[in-house]
Protein backbone atom coordinates (compact mmCIF):
# COMPACT_ATOMS: atom_id res chain seq x y z
CA UNK A 1 0.00 0.00 0.00
CA UNK A 2 2.75 2.43 0.91
CA UNK A 3 4.59 1.59 -2.31
CA UNK A 4 1.53 2.45 -4.38
CA UNK A 5 1.13 5.77 -2.59
CA UNK A 6 4.80 6.53 -3.21
CA UNK A 7 4.47 5.79 -6.93
CA UNK A 8 1.38 8.00 -7.19
CA UNK A 9 3.17 10.81 -5.34
CA UNK A 10 6.21 10.58 -7.63
CA UNK A 11 3.94 10.59 -10.70
CA UNK A 12 2.17 13.73 -9.48
CA UNK A 13 5.48 15.43 -8.68
CA UNK A 14 6.87 14.66 -12.15
CA UNK A 15 3.66 15.86 -13.80
CA UNK A 16 3.63 19.15 -11.89
CA UNK A 17 7.34 19.64 -12.64
CA UNK A 18 6.71 19.01 -16.34
CA UNK A 19 3.74 21.38 -16.38
CA UNK A 20 5.74 24.12 -14.65
CA UNK A 21 8.54 23.73 -17.20
CA UNK A 22 6.08 23.93 -20.10
CA UNK A 23 4.44 27.02 -18.60
CA UNK A 24 7.85 28.67 -18.13
CA UNK A 25 8.78 27.97 -21.75
CA UNK A 26 5.44 29.35 -22.94
CA UNK A 27 5.82 32.52 -20.84
CA UNK A 28 9.40 32.97 -22.07
CA UNK A 29 8.27 32.68 -25.70
CA UNK A 30 5.44 35.12 -25.05
CA UNK A 31 7.81 37.65 -23.45
CA UNK A 32 10.27 37.28 -26.34
CA UNK A 33 7.37 37.87 -28.75
CA UNK A 34 6.39 41.05 -26.88
CA UNK A 35 10.03 42.15 -26.84
State the number of CA atoms in the 13 A half-sphere of 2 facing the CB. Answer: 0
Distance CA 29, CA 23 (A): 10
* Angle subtended at Cα 16 by Cα 10 and Cα 20, rounded to the nearest 5 degrees: 145
Number of domains in the chain: 1
Which class for 8: exposed (0-12), middle (13-18), buried (19 or more C-beta within 10 A)? exposed
Q: Which pTM does this prediction carry?
A: 0.57
Q: Say how far apart CA 1 and CA 3 lie, in whole Å.
A: 5
What is the pLDDT at residue 1? 65
Range of the domain at 7: 1-35
* Residues 1-35: tens digit of each pLDDT: 689 999 999 999 999 989 999 999 999 999 898 87
Amino acid sequence: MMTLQLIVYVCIAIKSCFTTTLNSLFIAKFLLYLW
